[in-house]
Amino acid sequence: MTEEVLITAVVFFGIYQLIKIFTDFLLKRKIIKAGHLDHAGILEPIKQNQEENRYPTLKWGLVALMAGTGMIIIELLSWGDTFKWVKNYESVMPFGIELVFIAIGFLIYFFIVNSKKR
């Protein structure tokens, strides 16, 4: 079942990319034939603003720190007999705890970068 879905998604993505490349080519050719050579670069991919990712080391350092903290919390919870769901391998609660801590790492990074912009 999942292989069929994956194959279908890859085929449609490939078709989309081919159509996009062809239509961009036709549009660029039309712009150049009209004599607007300075506007021919309109379809060039927009470069992302470098300020968006000014502190990549800080971001991934915070995410790794918070992911490690989440794993430590999960391990500490598994020591006692109070939280039996931590040792239950069918439970998704440990994954939820880990994802929450990773999200907190991203949010801390977001607030730090926004405070630096001001």
Give the pTM: 0.52
* pLDDT at residue 101 greater than cutoff 90: yes
Residue 5: the pLDDT is 82
Question: Which amino acid belongs to residue 41?
Answer: G
Residue 43: the pLDDT is 52
Q: What is the pLDDT of residues 72-83, one digit of tens each?
A: 888 887 776 666
Composition of the chain by helix, strand, coil, percent to 5: 80, 0, 20
Taking each helix axis as running N to C, give the angle between helix 93-117 and helix 56-79, from 0 to 180 degrees, rounded to the nearest 10: 150
Q: What is the pLDDT of residues 44-72, one digit of tens each?
A: 555 555 556 677 888 889 999 999 998 88
**Using CA atoms, how far apart are residues 71 and 84, in angstroms rounded to an integer?**
16
